[in-house]
């Protein structure tokens, strides 16, 4: 008996010892091995963090008309704990509300439920995002329908467990979190300039991805507010136990120099050109030369900033700033400015254009089917004689011509606050061939952007002073008070004011009897130049592909607007004078009415002849900064 009793004692002692060992191991496992994990979970249960998302600021035109704005939306989530064992009931009910196929939603939910481990899916909380960007108008009927639904349960005499389940189904089958969505009230108008936003992290859902939305992102996105505090067992915040708090700061509002009315005029004109000529693209920029303000900037084809994914990414490109071409004859204005500034020629000086064919250093230069003889400098510009301007450039010299090009900003980006702006590609004279000067003079062997060319013309319109292009007019705080007002920024003087006046006078001939007659206006003088450049790639010029441009200013005596139009590779026979000049005229005729610009032409009276050259006084240059 003693042996049996002893055996029982030993067995029970062993059992007790084993239980203590298991308990000790469990305590060691929880308190030592899983200490950090469990401590983190405890902190998550004890503390809560609330993120108050900053409101993204508006982008508006110069008169405060919103171009990009933020609207409140809801993100719809599902609580997977509620959906467990109820997928077959909930999916057919919820799917029509979300505009989804019932079987697709059920399959998606089951897949997420199957991958869950513990309270979360793959370590995340047991909630699932179903739909983003739902408007308040769309969410309200969904919420009301769920609040009234019985989910197949009898409405009377529910057991306490059923009441709890019904309450959970109505509350957590679908629930929302506040969010915001970018809205562009004018669709694709100014699309390439405005850009678009993308979805980022949950803490900051709107972030600029293209255009002004990207470059201004740090200014208009604001900073989120964060509140960390303790919570009770029901998950309610205990405000008296806050450990960290940062106040939300809404984003600034950006006011542009763009005039929406003019922008729409420009885009309609370009749209008609796209329809009639079927080019690769068409673009236009309108500048106020005295300040450098960009009043309109359009690139077609465009895209919808609301849904940039609906079109090809190529449509996002802002051709005004991102494309660079050999601008062709439109550059002859800069060559003329260099020649007059360095007193190499006068406007009435004559050159032999050799009946359209000229040989220089065994290289042949043509005047594109024309057979011009002796012509003055201003006639060479009006008729766009390549041979005439090649000889003019030889009188200037390559060093002075190159210096004038760089002074006008042809070799560097303008600094406009937009992404992906290209600078010009101009080789230094040390790398020019012996005949390069005769080709550079007519806009070949280098490339520049449309905005660079437009700003160079604007300098001539502004009596020789180059301005920084201005796209931002003002920044306002979220409450509407002014934060920063941008002022026009002069860059440098590029030519003497008298040189600019003489160049404008010669440019008038282009419209009156030269290659730009299609841009002539009945009541306004126009100074302009056409450009028809053959497109090229690294292998050479591309037969039949041209870049047509027209840059003009009006009124010619004291220009208030500079309008640059470009049409890339229109179908059929085309030139800057036949394709781009009519677009200029259509825009200009509406712009002068919009801005109430006074006519400067007197019917029946011809403009007086402009002196070929006035005496140069070195003292006049003292005020000019280089």
**Do 471 and 327 belong together in one domain?**
yes
Q: Is the pLDDT of residue 311 over 90?
A: no
Measure CA 320 to chain center: 11
Banded model confidence at residue 1, pLDDT cuts 50, 70, 90:
low
Out of 2-6, 566-570, 585-589, pick the least confident: 2-6
pLDDT, greater one: 345 or 163 = 345
Return all residues near 389 (Cβ < 8 A) that are at least 6 apart: 332, 335, 336, 380, 381, 441, 442
- DSSP, res 136: H
Q: Is the pLDDT of residue 458 over 60?
A: yes
Rounded percentage of the chain residues whose pLDDT exceeds 90: 56
Q: Is the pLDDT of residue 624 over 50?
A: no
The pTM of this model reads: 0.82
**Do 273 and 164 belong together in one domain?**
no
- Strand 253-256 and strand 59-60: the pairing is parallel
pLDDT digits (tens, 9 = 90+) for 40-87: 666 655 666 666 788 899 999 999 999 999 998 888 888 888 888 788
Q: Is residue 43 part of a domain?
A: no
Q: Is the pLDDT of residue 626 over 60?
A: no
**Do 279 and 216 belong together in one domain?**
no
Structure tokens at 33: 């091995």
Banded model confidence at residue 136, pLDDT cuts 50, 70, 90:
confident
Structure tokens at 549: 């441009």
What average pLDDT does the segment 547-553 reach?
Answer: 96
Q: Is the pLDDT of residue 220 over 50?
A: yes
Residue 452's CATH number: 3.40.710.10
Residue 143's CATH number: 3.90.1310.10
Residue 608 is predicted with a pLDDT of: 54
Q: Is the pLDDT of residue 235 over 60?
A: no
Tell me the range of 97-111, 211-225, 386-400, 531-545 where mean pLDDT is highest.
386-400
Three-state secondary structure call for residue 127:
strand
What average pLDDT does the segment 92-120 reach?
Answer: 78
Q: How far is CA 102 from CA 74, 84, 543, in A?
A: 21, 16, 57
Q: Is the pLDDT of residue 110 over 50?
A: yes
Give the whole-angstrom CA distance, residue 316 versus residue 323: 12
Q: Is the pLDDT of residue 242 over 90?
A: no
Report the 3 state secondary structure along 475-528. EECCCCCEEEECCCCEEEECCCHHHHHHHHHHHHHHHHCCCCHHHCCCCCCCEE
**Do 429 and 556 belong together in one domain?**
yes
Residue 611 is predicted with a pLDDT of: 47
What average pLDDT does the segment 209-238 reach?
Answer: 78
Three-state secondary structure call for residue 118:
coil
Q: How far is CA 170 from CA 6, 153, 167, in A?
A: 63, 12, 5
Q: Is residue 38 part of a domain?
A: no
Which residue shows structure tokens 């450049």? 533
> What element of type H or E holds 103?
helix 102-114
Residue 619 is predicted with a pLDDT of: 37
- DSSP, res 57: P
pLDDT digits (tens, 9 = 90+) for 166-190: 788 888 888 888 888 899 999 999 9
pLDDT, greater one: 112 or 1 = 112
Give the whole-angstrom CA distance, residue 122 versus residue 119: 9
Residue 232 is predicted with a pLDDT of: 60
**Do 424 and 516 belong together in one domain?**
yes
Q: Is residue 235 part of a domain?
A: no
Q: Is residue 3 part of a domain?
A: no
**Do 264 and 219 belong together in one domain?**
no
> What element of type H or E holds 300?
strand 293-300
Which residue shows structure tokens 């126009």? 526
Residue 199 is predicted with a pLDDT of: 62
Phi/psi of residue 302, nearest 5 degrees: -105, -165
**Do 495 and 600 belong together in one domain?**
yes
pLDDT, greater one: 499 or 80 = 499
Residue 123 is predicted with a pLDDT of: 46
Banded model confidence at residue 607, pLDDT cuts 50, 70, 90:
low
Give the whole-angstrom CA distance, residue 220 versus residue 478: 9
Give the whole-angstrom CA distance, residue 514 versus residue 527: 11
Count how many domains the chain has: 2
DSSP notation for 428-485: -GGG--TTHHHHHTTT-S-BEEHHHHHHHHHHHHTTTEEE--B-EEEEE-TTS-EEEE
Reading phi first (left if > 0) and then psi (alpha if -120 to 50, else beta), residue 545 is in beta
Residue 105 is predicted with a pLDDT of: 85
Q: Is residue 6 part of a domain?
A: no
- The β-bridge partners of 206 are 199
Question: Pick from 528, 153, 514: which is nearest to 330 by CA?
Answer: 528
Question: Pick from 567, 599, 589, 551: which is nearest to 287 by CA?
Answer: 551
**Do 322 and 175 belong together in one domain?**
no
Structure tokens at 561: 């607007």
Residue 48 is predicted with a pLDDT of: 65
Phi/psi of residue 169, nearest 5 degrees: -65, -45
What average pLDDT does the segment 142-155 reach?
Answer: 80
Q: Is residue 10 part of a domain?
A: no
Rounded percentage of the chain residues whose pLDDT exceeds 70: 87
Three-state secondary structure call for residue 158:
coil
**Do 408 and 459 belong together in one domain?**
yes
Q: Is residue 400 part of a domain?
A: yes
**Do 378 and 492 belong together in one domain?**
yes
Mean pLDDT, rounded, of the chain: 86
Q: Is residue 468 part of a domain?
A: yes
CB-based contact 297:190 (threshold 8 Å): yes
Residue 414 is predicted with a pLDDT of: 94
Q: Is the pLDDT of residue 614 over 80?
A: no
Instruction: Look up the domain containing 65 and give its range.
Output: 49-82+89-113+125-223
> What element of type H or E holds 592?
helix 581-594
Banded model confidence at residue 25, pLDDT cuts 50, 70, 90:
confident
Banded model confidence at residue 30, pLDDT cuts 50, 70, 90:
low
**Do 445 and 492 belong together in one domain?**
yes
What average pLDDT does the segment 503-514 reach?
Answer: 96
Out of 145-159, 285-299, 402-416, pick the least confident: 145-159
**Do 160 and 299 belong together in one domain?**
no
Residue 3 is predicted with a pLDDT of: 73
């Amino acid at each position: 008996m003693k042996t049996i009793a002893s055996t029982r004692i030993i067995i029970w002692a062993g059992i007790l010892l084993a239980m203590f060992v298991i308990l000790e191991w469990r305590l060691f496992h929880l308190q030592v091995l899983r200490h950090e994990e469990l401590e983190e979970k405890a902190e998550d249960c004890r503390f809560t963090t609330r993120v108050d998302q900053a409101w993204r600021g508006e982008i508006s035109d110069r008169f405060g008309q919103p171009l990009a704005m933020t609207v409140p939306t809801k993100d719809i989530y599902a609580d997977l704990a509620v959906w467990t064992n109820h997928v077959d009931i909930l999916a057919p009910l919820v799917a029509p509300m979300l505009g989804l196929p019932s079987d697709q939603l059920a399959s998606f939910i089951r897949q997420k439920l199957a991958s869950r481990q513990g309270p979360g899916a793959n370590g995340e909380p047991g909630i699932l995002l179903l739909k983003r960007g739902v408007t308040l108008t769309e969410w309200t009927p969904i919420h009301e329908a769920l609040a009234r639904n019985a989910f197949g349960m009898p409405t009377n005499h529910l057991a306490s467990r059923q009441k709890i389940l019904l309450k959970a189904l109505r509350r957590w089958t679908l629930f929302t979190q506040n969010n915001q969505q970018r809205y562009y009230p004018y669709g694709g108008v100014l699309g390439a300039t405005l850009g678009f936003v993308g979805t980022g992290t949950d803490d900051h859902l709107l972030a600029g991805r293209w255009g002004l939305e990207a470059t201004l992102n740090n200014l208009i996105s604001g900073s989120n507010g964060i509140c960390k505090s303790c919570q009770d067992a029901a998950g309610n915040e205990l405000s008296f136990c806050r450990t960290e708090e940062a106040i939300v700061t809404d984003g600034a509002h950006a006011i542009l120099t763009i005039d929406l009315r003019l922008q729409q005029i420009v885009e309609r004109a370009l749209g008609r050109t796209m329809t009639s000529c079927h080019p690769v693209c068409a673009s236009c920029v309108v500048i106020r030369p005295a300040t450098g303000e960009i009043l309109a900037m359009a690139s077609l084809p465009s895209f919808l900033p609301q849904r940039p994914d609906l079109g090809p990414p190529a449509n996002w490109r802002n051709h005004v700033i991102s494309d660079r071409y050999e601008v062709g004859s439109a550059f002859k204005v800069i060559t003329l400015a260099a020649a007059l500034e360095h007193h190499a020629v006068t406007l009435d000086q004559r050159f032999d254009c050799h009946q359209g064919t000229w040989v220089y250093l065994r290289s042949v230069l043509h005047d594109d089917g024309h057979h011009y003889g002796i012509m003055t400098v201003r006639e060479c510009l009006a008729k766009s004689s390549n041979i005439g301007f090649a000889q003019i450039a030889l009188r200037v010299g390559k060093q002075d011509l190159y210096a004038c090009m760089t002074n006008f900003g042809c070799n560097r980006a303008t600094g406009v606050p937009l992404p992906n702006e290209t600078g010009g590609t101009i080789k230094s004279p040390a790398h020019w061939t012996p005949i390069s000067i005769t080709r550079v003079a007519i806009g070949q062997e280098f490339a520049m952007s449309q905005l660079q060319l437009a700003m160079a013309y604007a300098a001539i319109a502004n009596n020789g002073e180059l301005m920084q292009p201005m796209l931002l007019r003002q920044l306002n705080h979220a409450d509407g008070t002014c934060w920063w007002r941008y002022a026009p920024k002069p860059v440098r003087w590029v030519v003497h004011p008298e040189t600019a006046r003489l160049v404008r006078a010669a440019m008038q001939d282009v419209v009156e009897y030269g290659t730009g007659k299609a841009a002539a206006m009945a009541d306004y003088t126009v100074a302009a130049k056409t450009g028809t450049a053959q497109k090229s790639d690294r292998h050479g010029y591309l037969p039949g592909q041209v870049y047509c441009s027209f840059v003009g200013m009006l009124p010619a005596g004291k220009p208030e607007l500079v309008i640059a139009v470009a049409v890339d590779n229109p179908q059929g026979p085309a030139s800057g004078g036949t394709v781009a000049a009519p677009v200029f005229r259509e825009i200009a005729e509406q712009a002068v009415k919009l801005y109430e610009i006074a006519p400067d032409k007197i019917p029946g009276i011809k403009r007086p002849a402009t002196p070929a050259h006035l005496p140069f006084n070195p003292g006049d240059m003292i005020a000019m900064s280089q």
